[in-house]
């Protein structure tokens, strides 16, 4: 019986504590990620997307396979040249190599 008022007070205060706004580390941005993480994802996705796009065009015979291979290789080197960070080159190369080894694109880029 002595715990009943304590339990009641706890139950009444719980919703109030949950309603108090708390400043988060991401400052309210639901898509928050450190800048380096965003850049990794950007470069990886950019290279992978362009590689897959050229691959699909070659498979659909919209462009020649040799042309797609040459353009993708040149474009990959340009992206690496323009990127100042050696740290990001790793992700650029990773995406490039993933496309070259992709089951669908193997016939295009080999």
pLDDT at 24 over 60: no
Per-residue pLDDT, 39: 74
Range of the domain at 76: 35-110
- pTM, two decimal places: 0.65
Report pLDDT digits (tens) over 79-97. 888 876 677 888 889 999 9
CA angle 74, 75, 78 (to 5 degrees): 90
Q: Is residue 100 part of a domain?
A: yes
| Residue 27: strand, helix, or coil | coil
Report pLDDT digits (tens) over 47-81. 899 999 999 999 999 999 999 999 999 989 888 88
Number of domains observed in the structure of the chain:
1
Give first-to-last CA distance, the chain, whole Å.
Answer: 79
Q: Is residue 51 part of a domain?
A: yes
Per-residue pLDDT, 43: 83
- Tell me whether residue 17 is exposed, middle or buried, using C-beta atoms within 10 angstroms of its C-beta: 0 to 12, 13 to 18, 19 or more: exposed
């Amino acid at each position: 019986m002595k715990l009943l008022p304590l339990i009641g007070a706890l139950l009444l205060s719980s919703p109030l504590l949950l309603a108090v706004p708390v400043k988060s580390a991401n400052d309210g941005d639901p898509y928050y990620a450190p800048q380096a993480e965003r850049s990794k994802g950007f470069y990886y996705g950019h290279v992978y997307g362009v590689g897959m796009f050229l691959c699909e065009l070659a498979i659909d015979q919209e462009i020649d396979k040799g042309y797609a291979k040459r353009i993708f290789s040149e474009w990959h080197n340009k992206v690496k040249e323009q990127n100042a960070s050696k740290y990001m080159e790793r992700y650029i190369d990773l995406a490039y190599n993933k496309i070259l080894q992709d089951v669908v694109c193997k016939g295009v880029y080999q």
